[in-house]
Structure 1
Amino acid sequence: MTTERADRVRALYQSFNDRDLDAVLAAMAPSVEWPNGWRGGRLTGRDEVRAYWQRQWEEIRPMTVVRHIAERPDGTVEARVRLVVRDPAGTVLERSETTHVYEFAGPLVQRMRVEPQDAVAGEASTSA
């Protein structure tokens, strides 16, 4: 995989964790297809993704740590991540290991899908 794509994906996660919505959306194609991992279904376009994250961040505090990034034989890019979701008070609601798969249109993310691996949900801890 090119360093440029790996850097783009890493920057996407950093911007998400920093809640820099404009930077995250700038990395996406205008007609991006994005999973609604919080409520189910799919989102289409930057405006839907923006509204989704704004609503989500009012209720939960997701954080991702990139474990591994690799290009797949079909040209998609996978990012294995550790996800920790907290409520606004800091209580852990979920911990999981997940694979996110990205499709690009030129330098921009056109589509992302989630491939769940194993979840450790419902842990009542306040440490990441």
Structure 2
Amino acid sequence: MADFDHRILFVTIYAAFNARAIDEVLVNMHPDVDWPNGWEGGWVKGHDAVRDYWTRQWNVVNPRVEPLRCETDVNGQIVVDVHQVVKDLSGTILADGMVQHVYQLEDGLIRRMEIREV
């Protein structure tokens, strides 16, 4: 898949995440996706675990992520530069900065995502 196609896919996925449209994001993930628990630490595996993680997270904090750049690295992973703003539920900013999300795809679906600090 070309980088252009990846950009379209990831812009759509990030918009769905920001809209809290979990099912619209999960449809783009492998059923056994490995997903980082960037909030509590560790990893979650599979659609149900990702749904539970995000639901719990959104009951406590309000993260918003905006993809700024999307490229394929030499290993075939998709690297997305992301501006991330996390607020508490009253609107106070808890974090505002850049991270990289690194994706591995399998059969056009997200198989794994890692968070890299930049």
Q: Given the two structures, how large is their TM-score scaled by the length of structure 1?
A: 0.88
Deviation at 1:3, TM superposition (A): 2.1
- Show the counterpart of 1:109: 110
> Is the partner of 2:40 in helix, strand or coil?
coil
Unaligned ranges ≥5, structure 1: 118-128
Distance in 1 (alpha carbons) for counterparts of 2:93 and 2:85: 7
* SS of alignment partner, residue 29 of structure 1: strand
Structure 1 equivalent of residue 82 of structure 2: 81
The offset of 1:63, in angstroms, is 0.2
1:2 Cα offset (Å): 3.3
Residue aligning to 2:51: 50
Q: Which amino acid aligns with 2:70?
A: I
Does 2:72 align with 1:71?
yes
Which amino acid is 1:15 matched to? A
| Matching of residues 1-128 of structure 1 within 5 Å | 1-117=2-118
Q: Deviations over 1:57-98 (max 9, x none)?
A: 000000011111101111000000010000111110111200
Listed as ranges, the gaps of 5+ residues in structure 2 are none
Once superposed, what is the RMSD of the aligned Cα atoms? Answer: 0.8
Greater gyration radius: 1
Count of matched residue positions in the alignment of Structure 1 and Structure 2: 117
Distance 1:106 1:15 in 2: 21
How far 1:6 moved relative to its partner?
Answer: 1.8
Distance in 2 (CA, whole Å) between partners of 1:108 and 1:8 is 10
Q: Which runs of 4+ in 1 moved over 3 A?
A: none
* Percent of residue pairs bearing the same amino acid type: 35
Offset of residue 10 of structure 1:
1.3
Q: Distance in 2 between matches of 1:61 and 1:99?
A: 19
SS at match of 1:40: coil
